[in-house]
Structure 1
Amino acid sequence: MDTKCSIPVIDLHDFPNQLPKLMAACEEWGCFRLINHHEVLPSSLMSEMKSVVRSLFDLPVEIKRRNLGVIAGSGYVAPTATNPLYEALGLYDMASLRDVENFCSQLDASRHQRDIITKYAGAVHKLFIRIEEKLAEGLGVKGEDIAFENWSCQFRINKYHFTSESVGSPGVQIHTDGDFLTVLQDDDDVGGLEVMDKSGRFIPVDPWPNTLIVNLGDMATVWSNGRFCNVKHRVQCKEATIRVSIASFLLGPREAIKPLAALVDADHPSVYVPTTYEEYRKLRYSTNLHAGEALELLQTSSSGN
């Protein structure tokens, strides 16, 4: 296996030794690759989920259209003029067994498919909590004082219909994730994901089977009082083939999110005003600012910007 990786690699089995490296990854990159997570999310479950995902995308369009979303992007997304190569299915909230069951019913999932989807959603939710606790520890905050398990989640599976004519074109435009944290099970064989480093260069994130990509989104920047960066990323068409990925999004608390009190003092005033994920999601869509620029609209007068 080629373990070469351009972004930081975090070993979930090596804490607290990995804590300084985790903080550096969040502050300098806004993303990292997670390895040795199989105690929480086994490689066998990842493989089974990938097979289920491919079968769901093979369903007739009329069945896929039953997958209705309660917020933008949480249901079926057909190819559009903006993203003609992209198709997606999803649900909100993956931490809710009722929502997961509803998603399965919409798509006429078999008992086996339901079992795999339910196990996967539960495992990723546990992984979210584990990662969040590490982030809180790195910031000097007690994770047990934050009800991470009650934060909303979103689940989306993505399919890219790359053709020979589309090679070199974007599969998905440059953006940041508006959520708090994203866990991505990327395609094991087909590359295309690229992240932007602090110099503005796009760095390819090559396939590395049985690992996960973790992105920090706009809500994490607010929560950390600007200490964590939100990574800009895109998907480029590298070859004429089908590319499939599985993305899970930890959106944030159902109430307002604001900079952690432990990170705010006279020398470090609050950079952002409180907001909820839903308020911020609507702000991004109404302003058409999808690459983190909408955060500037949340800045306080004391931030000096």
Structure 2
Amino acid sequence: MNVASSGENETFYQPENFILLGIPGLEVSHFWISIPMAGMYVLTILGNSVILAIIMPQETFHKPMYLFLSMMAIIDLVASATTTPKILCIFWFNSKEIGFSACLAQLFFIHALSMMESTILLAMAFDRYVAICHPLRYTSILTNTIIAKIGVMAIIRGSFFMAPAPFLIRRLSYCQTNVISHTYCEHMAVVKIACTNTTINQAYGLTVALLVIAVDIACISVSYCGIFRAVFRLSSREARRKALGTCGPHICVILISYIPALFSFFTHRFGHNIPLHIHITLANLYILIPPMCNPLIYGARTKEIRRRVVAIFRQ
């Protein structure tokens, strides 16, 4: 533990390691909980790898919706690799230690990748809006250059908003405990165990959430208001069904991505009466379920991908 004096009666403590407890109160069940987690991780790797293997080599799939889907698959693979192996090590080998710098790196990647995925979800909503409301201008608006710029912007946006987090946490003192009641280094879980004033850190977390998640949800909602207004103006019931059908997978992905994230965000700040093991369990599902379900949802609901998957397995 690094110790430095910061005043007459104040001492600054920075631990060399943090201890991740796993799911407090469910320690005896860690092994059994790990089994479905490991299965979800395997499905995440297989599902997203298949999506990339289908989309990337085939020029016929180099369309906006599929390119955004491949970006999401890459984000999901990296996000899962950042957290799930360490969670399984805690559950299987009781390997609870994580270095201070490694914890900050994990924290950065978890939240930065989450913001990147939110940006891609917003881009996919815009894609559906242009396809349904301005179909004749679709190819001229969503060119490959624009899609590439959106991908770069997603990386810059997520990295920019999360870059201050490790530096803000390094200024905190951990003089009481280095034990984190969590399975991974989540921002507020790390901030809460500090023994110095964390007002700046909490204000930063709230500001970032409002600037990213709240803004993205608002923009997605506006996009779908325009989509629904355009769809219900169509005279043909079949045309309405087909138009809404193209939005179905995206809406499902939005729900499974934002609902657990918002639950975890509000629980940290207002859910003091929610049992800790329930909060941590749902926080793990937030890490595990969206990356696993995204390729399954698009694979099941998108005809071209479904046909290609069937063809691969037949071969």
Q: TM-score, normalised by structure 1?
A: 0.29
- The structure that is helix-richer by fraction is 2
Q: TM-score, normalised by structure 2?
A: 0.29
* RCO higher in structure (CA 8 A, sep ≥6): 2
- The structure that is strand-richer by fraction is 1
